[in-house]
Every structure is written in C-alpha cells, then in structure tokens.
C-alpha cells in the first residue's frame, strides 16, 4: 500500500508539473505557452513572405506539439486575433458578435516581420529536441518586450491558474523604457473592444477591475450600447438583457442587434420608462457591468511565480539588456570574422601569395604554402590562419583576383572597423542601445491601430440590491406554514425585493435570518416576520415577556438582534426548554398593565418598556412578578427624551453580551410596525391585547 501511495504521489507531481510548465502557464521571458511558441517556431520555418493555409501550419506544428490539431488550431486563431505577430486572411471570428472562425482549410496566415524583430534570434536561442526526437524546438524565445502583458493570457493548471489582462502595446514599451531609465510608470489594461474601466482595485495586476459598456443615453426612450465590456459579445449581452426582462427586473419594449464592424445594440424602453431610470438597473442586472479578477502567474526560472505587472516590466527592462548584450557580442564576432576574411583576401591577392601554390602537388603542401605566406603579415591579421580560411581563399575565382579592387577592399575594412567601434560603444552603453531598440520596435507599431481604446474612469459597482424595487408581496400562510413571494394564499406581511433578507421569530423563541424565496416552509408557529435590514434593526428593540414554567415567574427582556449567520438558528429565550413566550413587541415604548389571578391586595401593576435597559440578545430577563398572571395589556406611548438617552447609554454595557456572528450587508427598510409605533394614536381607548401590532397572544 505504501509503495502504491508513493507511486501515485510521484505520478501526480509529474503530471501537475507538466501541466503547469508545459501547457497552461506562460513563460515570463517570451509570454508564450508551449503551443503558441511551437506555432510561431513553425511559422518562422515556413516563412517565405506568402500566406499559408492554417491547416498546413497546424499540420506542421504537430511535429512539435503532441496534443493534437484542435488545440493548435484554437491557439493559432487566438494568437492571430491579438494582431501582433500573425497576419491573417479570411474569417477568424468576431469577438464583438461571438461568431466563431472558419475551418482551418479556409483561412490563411503568415508571419509578420515584427515577430522576427521581437522574438527571433537563433544564435542566442536555446533549442531542445522535440517530443519525438526528430526536430529541434526553442526552449523560449529571447523576446525584447513583455509579450505576456500585451497579449494577455489565461490558463488553468493543477492547483493554480493565471489571468493576465491585455495591455496597450505602446504603453507597455513606454513603461519598459521608463524602467530602464529608473523612472516611475503606471500601467493599466486596455481591451480591443473599448468600454470603460475602473482600476481602483487593480493592485498592479493582482486585484480586480470593473468594466462597463459604453452607452449612448442621449435619447430619453432609447439606449444604444456602443462598446462592450471585455469578454462579453453581443450575443451574451442580449441574452443577459432578455433574462432580466423575463424576471421583471427591466421594463424594456425591444432589443435589436445591429452589430457589424462596430457594436450597435439598440434598447427601446417600455411605456412610462425613461433612460435615466433604467441605466443603473442595466448595469446591475446585465453584463453591461462586470468585475474581472486578475492573477499574474507566470513561469520564471522554470518555476511558477506570482508577480505584479510592474515586476514583469522590470524583469524585461533587465532582460532586454541581457539580450542586447548577447546580440552585440554575436554581431561583434561576425564583424571580426568579416574583417579577418577581408584582410586575408587583401594580403592573399596584393602580396601574390596565390603564386606559391603553382608548383605544389599535394593538398597538404598547398595549405602549408598559403599559411607560410601569411607569416610576414601576422601583425595585420585578426587571428591565426586556419584550414577553413585557406580553403575559402583557394576558392576565389581567377577573374575576381584579376579584377580585385584594393581601394574598395580597404573601404570595406574601414567600414567594418567603424562598425566594431560602434558595437564596442554599445556594449559599454547597453541602456542607451536597448532604448534605441525599443524605440525602433515601437515605431513599427501603427499608432492608430494600437492607440488606447479603453477609457480609465472612476465608478462604483452597482449593487443589485441598490436598484431592486420592493414590489413583491411577501405572504405567510399559517395554515400551510409556507412563506414566500410566489404564494397565492395567506396574509401579505410586507413588500420585499428578491434580494432582501428577512428575520423570522418562532413561537418557541427561536429566530433566524434567511433570504427571500419564492416558497419556503417556515412552520405554522411563526410569531414575527420582518426585514433583516441592518440599519433598520439598529432602531428596533425587541421586547419579550416570557414565563418560567417551573417557578411561574414572569420576566421581561429588551434586546436588539444583529450579527446573524445566515440560516443559523438562535434562541431569544435564556432557557428554551423551561421558558414560554407570552408577548413579543417591537414598539419603542409602551405602557404595560399586568393583571394577577386570584385574591390579592394588588390586582394589577403598570410599567413602561423604557423602565428596563436594552441588553444583548443572550442576556437573561428581569423579573416582572412572581405572582400568577391573568392578562397582559400593552398600550403604545411615546419614548421621551430622557428615556431615549437612558436606553442608548445602556447599549454600551450590553454589547459584550451579544453573540458574535458573520456580518451581513443589509438594506435600510423601516418595518411597517415600527413606523406605526412612531405616531401616537389620535383617540385614547381602553388598552387590550390587540393594541400590539406585530405582537402575539399568550401561549
């Protein structure tokens, strides 16, 4: 068993590592996943300036990619739609309408020169064998710019995922130049579809952004969607609008999609509805507003690494210095080879060294004669003469020797020396050279095509609860025990929205908070139903009169209910098994008259709610009387100023008794009974048990 566990563990680790490094997560150096890198490598090999069928490119890429043509085709289309490295011809789909691309045999593509300028340099690229050992493929391209930020990417691996939003190419290059100079920079996403974006929580690529559609609201009866949020097409947008209409959240007469080369979704409003009244609801209930969470996870030094956008820019600011140094060293080597060749040719022809081989009869003698001829001119040579140099000299045609132009050769040598001097200068001024390279790359990008499309703005996400209307009747049927907004029978308790939360108190003193639902079984012994609105509950004091069945002592308890965990039951009575709920009221103050049973010198007692302190929900009650009670009558009355002050001051002493729970975000809605209690009755009358709105009779 232990060996099996070890085997499974090892195999899973290898599988997870493969998925993370070789499939789902891009490398920070060239910003590409393996399939994308293999596609570009294949296109570099096939590049002849002409278009190739995508089907041909997919087939050739399968020499390097072992996961089938479907994944290659999808990756190629996505890569081409970034409009950075691949020139496309044919139907590659439309991100605005959601239409898919044509089949691989119908569309064509070719590599843009920009791709080679940014990615390709085989002399400084490390290559490894492909999966079948028949070919060589690059480990990673020596990219000069942070491609991962420009194109954006997302992927799901084992235990981790990445989502990097696309950024503006011109701004990314400017940020990279600023990083090389040691200057500050700020970089925010930019989407091909435009729209608006709030980056207040972007956190440099580790937080989230809010994106909104661009709406034309100039017409009071018509709204036109002109730009879509990132990741939303017109089909998804219309579906979300129609769904909101079916649920009664939006009053819209019709929705028409005229999207072609530009987004144009026309929303005609219903009679009595105007643009200013529906815009917020459109953001809240449809895909016109979206929150996108981001996570910048890349492969760095062969390991997954979470980094910020600024980290990626600074990495590439250092990386382009390394790439520039390697390229300059390679170029310097080529220049010295060229200088050596030109010097050998000049001496070989000018000093007639070729004459030494006329009488030689063997290859060894010829090579030796040529090498010996260069001995007097050793100080003019860049390096020693090799057999390859001799072989190249011997292949010079007689016609070229006879027409050899010494002046032209000397000019070429002077130019080579000047180039070597410039390379040496650049090697000692890598910052300056790298900035020139980036400026040249930026110049190759069309300013109009790559201009910023998304507007950075400040706005808060619209909460559906803020725009939801309380126009649903919440009914409770005591005969069946059901509570909800889709119940035909029973009594209407209040008006609610589908996003409200409600507080339910049972006859046994149990209470809990739950969401409004279409139909919910709550039992036949519900004694209170109210909105569980945080602000409203802060103003509501629950007064409970209960009886201890063992001692026959009657208690009163005043408390506030807050800090709920959704759907978790709480106890309002200190000892639910022995206590019996007699009265429940949410009146701010009332006059209570208690009448006793049997012969007694004192037949009744009168007191006010405000005579008792407001305590925590878990606190015990205060004794009213130890005598057996015949009836309790409650008469509403005003809460005078000194009583308000006393009640308020008592809260600070009672907070430590309150049960701690998960906080809820609640809406501000006054309970109908609380509103009624704020006004004094116009005409006094004899108090009775019916004087309590929201109160219940003796158990």
Tell me the C-alpha distance between 130 and 63, whole Å.
8
Q: Give 173-219 pLDDT, tens digit per residue.
A: 999 999 999 999 999 999 999 999 999 999 999 999 999 999 999 88
Tell me the C-alpha distance between 476 and 359, whole Å.
120
pLDDT confidence bin for 694, thresholds 50/70/90: very low
**Does the pTM of the predicted model rise above 0.85?**
no
3-class secondary structure, 628: coil
pLDDT at 684: 34
In a domain? residue 244: yes
Does residue 179 sit in the same domain as residue 232? Answer: no
In a domain? residue 136: yes
Q: Give 230-239 pLDDT, tens digit per residue.
A: 999 999 999 9
Given the residues 64, 73, 92, 106, the one annotated as active site: 106
Does residue 542 sit in the same domain as residue 684? Answer: yes
The tokens describing 647, both together, are: 């009640």
Half-sphere exposure of 400 (CA within 13 A, CB side): 11
- The residue-averaged pLDDT of 563-573 equals 89
Does residue 653 sit in the same domain as residue 556? Answer: yes
- The residue-averaged pLDDT of 6-25 equals 81
Number of domains in the chain: 4
Does residue 60 sit in the same domain as residue 170? Answer: yes
Does residue 130 sit in the same domain as residue 255? Answer: no
In a domain? residue 146: yes
pLDDT confidence bin for 514, thresholds 50/70/90: very high
Does residue 179 sit in the same domain as residue 91? Answer: yes
In a domain? residue 208: no
Does residue 152 sit in the same domain as residue 279? Answer: no
Does residue 331 sit in the same domain as residue 258? Answer: no
pLDDT at 1: 63
- 120 as an active site residue: the answer is no
In a domain? residue 9: no
Contact 584, 695 (CB under 8 A): yes
Residue 543 clears pLDDT 60, i.e. is over it: yes
Tell me the C-alpha distance between 507 and 522, whole Å.
11
- Domain edge (last residue) among 385, 411, 444: 444
Contact 536, 604 (CB under 8 A): no
Tell me the C-alpha distance between 503 and 563, whole Å.
12
Does residue 365 sit in the same domain as residue 235? Answer: no
- Domain edge (last residue) among 306, 334, 350: 306
Does residue 537 sit in the same domain as residue 439? Answer: no
pLDDT confidence bin for 288, thresholds 50/70/90: very high
- The residue-averaged pLDDT of 605-612 equals 89
Does residue 30 sit in the same domain as residue 178? Answer: yes
Domain containing 329 — which CATH number?
1.10.268.10
- Domain edge (last residue) among 400, 426, 444: 444
Does residue 344 sit in the same domain as residue 240? Answer: no
The tokens describing 188, both together, are: 């925010």
Tell me the C-alpha distance between 147 and 169, whole Å.
9
Residue 519 clears pLDDT 80, i.e. is over it: yes
Range of the domain at 151: 19-183+300-306
């Amino acid at each position: 068993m232990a060996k099996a566990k070890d085997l499974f563990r090892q195999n899973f680790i290898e599988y997870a590592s493969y998925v993370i490094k070789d499939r789902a997560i891009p490398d920070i150096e060239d910003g590409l996943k393996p399939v994308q890198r293999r596609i570009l490598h294949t296109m570099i090999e096939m590049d002849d300036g002409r278009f190739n069928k995508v089907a041909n490119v997919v087939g050739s890429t399968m020499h390097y990619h072992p996961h089938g043509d479907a994944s290659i085709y999808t990756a190629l289309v996505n890569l081409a739609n970034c409009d950075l490295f691949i020139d496309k011809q044919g139907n590659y789909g439309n991100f605005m309408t959601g239409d898919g691309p044509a089949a691989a045999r119908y569309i064509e593509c070719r590599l843009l020169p920009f791709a080679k300028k940014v990615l390709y340099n085989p002399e400084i690229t490390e290559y490894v064998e492909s999966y079948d050992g028949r070919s060589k493929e690059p480990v990673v391209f020596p990219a000069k710019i942070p491609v991962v930020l420009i194109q954006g990417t997302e992927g799901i691996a084992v235990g981790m995922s990445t989502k990097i939003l696309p950024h503006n190419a011109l701004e990314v290059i400017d940020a990279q130049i600023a990083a090389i100079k040691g200057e500050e920079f700020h970089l925010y996403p930019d989407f091909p579809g435009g729209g608006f974006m709030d980056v207040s929580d972007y956190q440099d690529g580790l937080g989230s952004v809010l994106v909104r559609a661009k709406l034309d609201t100039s017409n009071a009866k018509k709204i036109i969607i002109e730009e879509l949020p990132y990741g939303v097409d017109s089909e998804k947008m219309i579906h979300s609008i129609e769904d909101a209409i079916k649920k009664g959240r939006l009053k819209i007469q019709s929705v028409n999609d005229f999207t072609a080369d530009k987004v144009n979704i026309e929303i005609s409003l219903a009679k009595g509805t105007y643009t200013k009244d529906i815009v917020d609801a459109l953001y809240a209930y449809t895909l016109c507003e979206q929150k996108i969470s981001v996570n910048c996870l890349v492969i760095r030094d062969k390991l997954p690494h979470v980094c910020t956008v600024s980290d990626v820019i600074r990495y590439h600011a250092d990386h382009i210095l390394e790439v520039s140094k390697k390229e300059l060293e390679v170029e310097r080597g080529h220049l010295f080879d060229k200088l050596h060749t030109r010097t050998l040719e000049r001496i070989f022809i000018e000093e007639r060294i070729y004459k030494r081989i006329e009488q030689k009869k063997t290859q060894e003698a010829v090579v030796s004669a040529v090498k010996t001829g260069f001995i007097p001119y050793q100080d003019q040579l860049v390096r020693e003469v090799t057999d390859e140099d001799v072989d190249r000299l011997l292949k010079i045609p007689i016609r070229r020797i006879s027409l050899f132009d010494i002046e032209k050769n000397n000019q070429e040598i002077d130019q080579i020396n000047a180039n070597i001097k410039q390379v040496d200068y650049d090697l000692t001024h890598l910052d300056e050279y790298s900035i020139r390279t980036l400026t040249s790359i930026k110049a190759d990008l069309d300013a109009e095509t790559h201009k910023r499309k998304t507007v950075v703005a400040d706005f808060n996400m619209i909460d559906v609860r803020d725009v939801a209307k309380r126009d649903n009747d919440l009914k409770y049927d005591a005969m069946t025990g059901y509570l909800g907004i889709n119940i035909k029978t029973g009594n209407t308790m209040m008006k609610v929205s589908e996003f409200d939360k409600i507080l339910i108190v049972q006859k046994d003193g149990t209470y809990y908070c739950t969401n409004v639902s279409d139909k919910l079984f709550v039992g036949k012994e519900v004694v209170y139903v109210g909105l569980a609105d945080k602000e409203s509950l802060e103003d509501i004091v629950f007064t409970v009169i209960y009886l201890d069945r063992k001692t026959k002592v009657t208690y009163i308890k005043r408390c506030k209910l807050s800090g709920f965990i959704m759907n978790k039951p709480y106890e309002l009575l200190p000892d639910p098994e022995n206590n019996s709920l007699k009265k429940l009221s949410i009146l701010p103050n009332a006059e209570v008259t208690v009448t006793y049973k049997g012969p007694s010198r004192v037949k009744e007692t009168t007191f006010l709610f405000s005579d008792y302190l407001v305590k925590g929900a878990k606190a015990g009650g205060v004794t009213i009387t130890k005598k057996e009670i015949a009836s309790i009558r409650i008469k509403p009355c005003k809460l005078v100023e000194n009583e308000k002050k006393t009640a308020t001051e008592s809260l600070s002493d009672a907070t430590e008794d309150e049960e701690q729970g998960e906080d809820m975000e609640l809406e501000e809605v006054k309970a109908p009974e609380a509103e009624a209690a704020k006004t004094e009755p116009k005409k006094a009358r004899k108090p009775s048990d019916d004087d309590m709105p929201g109160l219940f009779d003796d158990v």
